[in-house]
Amino acid sequence: MLTPDLGLFIWNLLAFLILFLILKKFAWKPILKSLKEREEGIAGSLATAEKVKAEMAQMKNENEVLLAKAREERAALLKEARDMKDKIVNEAKEQAKVEAGRIITDARAAIEQQKMAALTDVKNQVGNLVIEVAEKILRRELANKPEQEKYIKQLSNEVKLN
């Protein structure tokens, strides 16, 4: 029941061999060629992926180096800016001290000059008062000394000094 007939077996074998030869002649080479091309394409893609991966790693390292340099430059610029700020502030303080000293010196000189002018003015006024008193005393010819003294006291009371 399950045993095949010998003729059927031979015909099937013959059809299979003919089909196999036709496939070998016409289809096998293109199929193998396309499989080989696909295998080469996959291998090339893998190689390219590895190459890109290596380039990415190198670029990452370069970026890290550049970032480190940028951080160093930024730190140097910040330090330089702080130093320059401190220098400018110190120079401004020194200049302010010098200017304040000059202003104080000028003010002291002006005060001293005004003081001397006031003293000179007071001396001149006192001198004028003395001359006036002496002139008034000499204008009045008094024979009596007590009257002269009385007159001098009267004149000194009239003259009020501040």
Does residue 148 contact residue 137 with C-beta atoms inside 8 Å?
A: yes
Handedness of CA 17, 19, 25, 30 (dihedral sign): negative
Q: Would you list the domain boundaries of the chain? A: 28-158
**Per-residue confidence (pLDDT) for residue 88, from 0 to 100:** 95
CA distances from 122 to 117, 160, 161 (A): 9, 13, 10
pLDDT score recorded for residue 80: 95
Helix (H, G, I), strand (E, B) or coil at 22: helix
pLDDT number for residue 72 = 96
Per-residue pLDDT reduced to its tens digit, 100-141: 999 999 999 999 999 999 999 998 888 888 888 777 776 666
pLDDT interval class at 162 (50, 70, 90)? very low
Q: Is the pLDDT of residue 94 over 60?
A: yes
pTM of structure: 0.41
Radius of gyration of the chain (CA): 63
The pLDDT value given to residue 127: 82
Within 10 angstroms of residue 151's Cβ, the number of other Cβ atoms is 16
Q: What is the pLDDT of residues 142-160, one digit of tens each?
A: 556 777 778 778 877 777 6
- Which pLDDT tens digit goes with each residue over 24-71? 888 888 888 999 999 999 999 999 999 999 999 999 999 999 999 999
**Per-residue pLDDT averaged across 17-23, rounded?**
92
